[in-house]
Amino acid sequence: MTNPLLGDWNTPFEIAPFDKIADTDFSPALDKALAADMAETIAIAQQPDAPTFENTIHAMQATGRQLDKVLSVFYTVNGADSNPAREALMREFSPKLSAHHSEIIANEALFQRIDTLWQNRDSLELSDEQARVLMLTHRNFVRSGAALLGEAKERMKEIKSRLSVLGTEFSQNLLADERDWFMPLAEADLEGLPEFLIAAAKAAAKEKGQDGAIITLSRSIVVPFLQFSARRDLREQAYEAWAARGANGGLKDNRALALEMLVLRQEMAALLGYTDFASYKLETEMAKTPENVRQLLNDVWAPAKARADQDAQILTEMMHQDGINGDLEKWDWRYYAEKRRKADHDIDEAEVKPYFQLDQMIKASFDCAHRLFGLEFTSVDVPLYHLDCRAWEVTRAGRHVALFIGDYFARGSKRSGAWCSAMRSQAKVPFHQSPIVINVCNFAKSDPALLSYDDARTLFHEFGHALHQMLSDVDYEMVSGTSVPRDFVELPSQLYEHWLEVPEVLKTFATHAETGEAMPETLLNKVLDAATFDMGFQTVEYVASAMVDLDYHTHEAPEDIMARQTLILDQMGMPKAIGMRHATPQFAHVFSGGYYASAYYSYMWSEVMDADAFAAFDEKGNAFDNELAHSLEKNILSKGGSQDPEALYLAYRGRLPAVDALLKGRKLVA
């Protein structure tokens, strides 16, 4: 019987036949796919003909089709619907994949062909995109150690293999802590909590086979609990559990894993001739150097901390008025900030939330994409990996563009956070393929499903990533969609958040879950006015995390990683009542594979651009200006990584932005 992962997928849109795939199919499929990919790669390396772009670089783009299919399915289900079998497979696969990649990088004949083409690139008469693909291929090989010799090359293999194992362990430990902890609530503990939170807490209890209601470590439940529960003792218990993820001792403690990763990253950078890992990592980003990143973070830190310090004084006075003496603590901030928001803006999240129905916000994100880019979305019935998922065909002028999948609800089998991934990326050569794109979120499940305003922004954010994938129009998959530097990849996603703030969008789609009535204009104005409320807190918790990430990777690994984290925060003057958005033991961006290692700053780097990019629409006086929308698609969304990102932004805006746009957007300056 043919393994369903390896055969032809005779399904709608050639999506994976999830209904036919069993966990036992993955391991044999991966082994066959790895062997096929290696055979294809060796054939390219050993061919007798002199290297050309077509027989080497172009040919390399055609390898690994089976491997891509197997991994696209596995990574999708392992991230969004894991189980013990899949976790075991991930531990098995990580070192296998690292060894496979290292063997390809170490193929001297293959690298010699690539290097020959690179040295002769000026005489090859390549298109701009082909030249970019050649540059990226050569650079990737060099940065992965292809030019190293002897013991250094072997040590690089060992480091990358170990890092892949450590990243997997870090992720699984974090998921286990988030999945296993919960706090039961007695009926009296529910007093004062909004209905949407009570419904989410009861749904979480049902999922775990518990009676009544529970608080879990899902952000969509624990954060509202910290906002609304008057029980300070329970807030403290919930916050401490949330902050302790990955640092609870025993076999699932992440602190030693994170420290070992820092040691190995520093050694890897040294092997490649860099002074530190951040210098190695940032060389290919828009920021280029750690000094540029530090400058950005410092420019934002000072006004953000000043605002947070002012806010802390106000919140402390509110707490003292409640008869609670002493200092404002981390489990107090959100509670008193919510009370202050209600008082200052006459706005109550419990009043606002019924207007942010999940289905309506999905429609809003689709409608904006239609008005800007002419896209249409039609619900379709296709095999999917979980009952919570739904799918839409994306078309334009009757032509198929993409398949879009949404997986929106939190569950114990899903890792925390929100993300966008492509099961298949757009390309024209060597094979013509349309994208299959997935947005994964962790919203609380209730009936009807209601979002906070921040949840709605997350939905728009991830859909901005999805549009970057859907509207990609390049030749080679290597530079398709979101295959861009990390500090550019967040531009389309953060830019798309701005359309949620457009009043006419909210007037149309922010309708009450029970009455169906549009949000009253007075409430709408309050929501928009409060959109930057508590921005000192939000900016401080983010910049602190970004600064710790940068510091870790610009210095030798410390003896005690948590002591180093404390020292960095103390030197910054971190407010006592604000925690890092991601403390080290749960910093998945940096330690679960390391995609954002030395690069967590990139959200803020992109925000400088997104604030300026949307200002172009403000200057036109029309959030749906056709000419600007066309320019945005033509110069940024369709180009993927086929050109230097700075050139893409200049083509769209005519200039590069300054940090002032970000500070103004966050209302951290007058």
- Tell me the pTM: 0.93
pLDDT digits (tens, 9 = 90+) for 216-270: 999 999 999 999 999 999 999 999 999 999 999 999 999 999 999 999 999 999 9
Rg of the chain, C-alpha, whole Å: 25
Max distance between CA atoms of the chain, in angstroms, equals: 83
pLDDT digits (tens, 9 = 90+) for 160-203: 999 999 999 999 999 999 999 999 999 999 999 999 999 999 99
At residue 133, does pLDDT exceed 70? Answer: yes
Helix axes 330-345, 219-228, angle to 10 degrees: 70
Sign of CA dihedral 409, 412, 417, 423: negative
- In sequence order, what are the residues at sequence separation of 6 or more whose Cβ sits closer than 8 angstroms to the Cβ of residue 643? 128, 132
3-state helix, strand, coil split of the chain in percent (to 5) is 60, 10, 30
At residue 274, does pLDDT exceed 90? Answer: yes
The rounded distance, in Å, linking the Cα atoms of 68 and 422 is: 11
In order, the DSSP letters of 360-380 are HHHHHHHHHHHHHH--EEEEE
pLDDT digits (tens, 9 = 90+) for 588-624: 999 998 889 999 999 999 999 999 999 999 999 999 9
User: What is the token pair recorded at 660?
Assistant: 């002032």
Tell me, what's the pLDDT at 670? 67
pLDDT digits (tens, 9 = 90+) for 364-405: 999 999 999 999 999 999 999 999 999 999 999 999 999 999
Tell me, what's the pLDDT at 661? 86
At residue 124, does pLDDT exceed 80? Answer: yes
- Residue 321, CB-side half-sphere exposure with 13 Å CA sphere: 9
If we measure between CA atoms, which residue out of 202, 451, 224 comes closest to residue 337? Answer: 224
The rounded distance, in Å, linking the Cα atoms of 392 and 381 is: 8
Indicate which residue of 349, 462, 497, 633 is catalytic: 462
Q: Which residues pair with 396 in a beta bridge?
A: 399
In order, the DSSP letters of 14-57 are G---GGG--GGGHHHHHHHHHHHHHHHHHHHHH-SSPP-IIIII
Name residue 511's amino acid: T
The rounded distance, in Å, linking the Cα atoms of 386 and 389 is: 6
Domains by residue range for the chain, with CATH: 12-146 (1.20.1050.40), 181-245 (no CATH), 354-517 (1.10.1370.40)
Name residue 359's amino acid: D
- In sequence order, what are the residues at sequence separation of 6 or more whose Cβ sits closer than 8 angstroms to the Cβ of residue 337? 227, 311, 315, 533, 534, 537
The rounded distance, in Å, linking the Cα atoms of 102 and 154 is: 9
pLDDT digits (tens, 9 = 90+) for 413-456: 999 899 999 999 999 999 999 999 999 999 999 889 999 999 99
- In sequence order, what are the residues at sequence separation of 6 or more whose Cβ sits closer than 8 angstroms to the Cβ of residue 237? 183
The rounded distance, in Å, linking the Cα atoms of 559 and 554 is: 15
Q: What is the mean pLDDT of residues 79-96?
A: 96
Q: Is 619 a catalytic residue?
A: no
At residue 494, does pLDDT exceed 90? Answer: yes
In order, the DSSP letters of 72-120 are HHHHHHHHHS--HHHHHHHHHHHHHHHHHHHHHHT-HHHHHHHHHHHHT
Q: Enumerate long-range contacts of 113-118, CB under 8 Å, 24 or more apart.
A: 113/44, 113/45, 113/51, 113/56, 114/51, 114/56, 114/57, 114/138, 114/141, 116/51, 117/51, 117/52, 117/53, 117/56, 117/57
The rounded distance, in Å, linking the Cα atoms of 388 and 197 is: 20
If we measure between CA atoms, which residue out of 55, 57, 66 comes closest to residue 31? Answer: 66
User: Cα dist. 389→85, 224, 362, 406, 664 in Å?
Assistant: 21, 24, 13, 6, 38
